[in-house]
Amino acid sequence: MKLSAGQVVIVDWRDALPKEPNKRRPAIVVEDTDLFDPAYPNAILVPLSDDAELALGDLSLALIPNSRNGLKKESYALAHHVTTVSKRRITVTEFHVTTKELAEIRARIAFAVGLDIPR
């Protein structure tokens, strides 16, 4: 499975443990497109949520639905929930966030893990 940075995908977390996402939900691929061989079994991504209470200030990015990202409602990229998942959980879509949005999400990930990167 070939994924690209900024791609919107659907992830199936329905067998999650308590306090983890437990449904199918959109996410954004944040790994560098050329970082891993396409055969690598996992992908690094940030889940999306429409729950504003999960969207913590500088750790989330609001995304407005449009034809490029394919979202149905305003959603938040939860950078503080960055995770690695098996590609077997992923359904690809043709949708993407903009290069600027991807850069903003990555900057929020860096901030969430304590890296001092100017934004």
The CATH number of residue 84's host domain is 2.30.30.110
Helix or strand holding residue 100 (H, E): helix 99-112
pLDDT in tens, the chain (119 residues): 889 999 999 999 888 766 666 788 999 999 998 888 889 999 999 999 999 998 998 999 999 999 999 999 999 999 999 999 999 999 999 999 999 999 999 999 999 988 876 55
Written in H, E and C, the secondary structure of 7-39 is: EEEEEECCCCCCCCCCCEEEEEECCCCCCCCCC
What's the total number of domains in the chain?
1
Residue 60, domain member (yes or no)? yes
Joined together, the tokens standing for residue 69 give: 């990202």
CA distance linking residue 57 with residue 87, whole number of Å: 29
Residue 106, domain member (yes or no)? yes
Residues of the domain holding 28: 7-112
> pTM (2 decimals)?
0.89
